[in-house]
Amino acid sequence: MPSIEFYPVSQVDFEAFTAAFNRAYADYYSPIVMTAGSFRTLIRYDDVDLDASVAAVEGEQIVGTGLLGLRSRTAWIGGMGVIPERRRQGIGRRMMHYLLNQAQHREVAEVRLEVIEQNQGAFHLYHQLGFATVRRLLVLQRQPQSLTQPDSRYTIRTWPAAELLRYFAPFHDHPNCWQRDLRSLQHRASLLRGWAALYGEDLVGYALGWSHHTEIRLADLATHPAYDRAAITQAILAHLHRLQPEALGLSYNVAEDDPGLPAYLATGYEVIQVQLEMRLVL
């Protein structure tokens, strides 16, 4: 059996890397299928460095994948996967060491990642490597249903996404995870729709995402800390779901300490999956 070598993703065939990623995630808790194009888009959005990311190669076959995102002195690991027939053979651990070494060479101060709560094997690996759980991140879903009357104190208007991102820092006293952080949203801004919540003439909250008659998918929802944050969140959600009453609602990786979470639940959203956000200080 050929030995396993580890290469930067920039040095392997990207179509083959994408195929290996899809094989690794085909039987995952939430199956993922990427095209090479959509994968490259995701890599750009999340500031993944292909020179620092890893492909585990056995002979001519890619058997493992791992991505390293870099922003200033913070790094993020994602896309960790091993094809089914090569699991439980230490490949994941060796890829993690590779990625952490890459982070250290780039003078990163901390590394973040997320792991689905049921994935105890991966969780224990990360814990053994020194990662500590920071908080739980929730995947929220809402089936179409009737709504109570929204709070009339707030007016919801469409608004350019790029302009709403000017409010990201003051409205986010509870930080977002990597994929919902400001940089990721800025990369997506031209594709996102925006909605502003106004109290009189004051902009006190916003939502960013996509709205269609079949699905409302939120990329960010933030509110002014000096106002009634739950009421603002509920007014925004009620507005969106009244516009698209048959749409499924989805919001990924909402932190359990997000001040708007009670409003999501009051509007009919349910927790369908939990991820653990973990951090390692280098």
Do 203 and 157 fall into the same domain? yes
Residue 173 neighbours by CB distance under 10 Å = 10
Do 52 and 149 fall into the same domain? no
Provide the residue range defining the domain that includes 99: 4-108
The answer, yes or no, to whether residue 149 has pLDDT greater than 80, is no
Structural domain contains residue 134: no
Structural domain contains residue 39: yes
Q: How confident is the model at residue 152 (pLDDT cuts 50, 70, 90)?
A: confident
DSSP state of 267: T
Q: What is the 3-state secondary structure (H, E, C) of 99-166?
A: HHHHHHHCCCCEEEEEEECCCHHHHHHHHHCCCEEEEEEEEEEECCCCCCCCCCCCEEEECCHHHHHH
Q: HSE of 140 in the Cβ direction (CA atoms, 13 Å)? A: 29
Do 152 and 101 fall into the same domain? no
Do 70 and 149 fall into the same domain? no
pLDDT at 131: 98
pTM for the structure as a whole = 0.94
What's the pLDDT tens digit per position in 41-68? 999 999 999 999 999 999 999 999 999 9
β-partners of residue 208 are: 194, 220
Structural domain contains residue 45: yes
Structural domain contains residue 145: yes
What's the pLDDT tens digit per position in 102-111? 999 999 999 9
Q: Residue 143: left if φ>0, alpha if ψ -120 to 50, beta else—which one? A: beta
Do 77 and 169 fall into the same domain? no
Cα dihedral: 171, 177, 181, 187 (round 10): -150
Structural domain contains residue 160: yes
The answer, yes or no, to whether residue 161 has pLDDT greater than 60, is yes
pLDDT at 1: 55
pLDDT at 170: 97
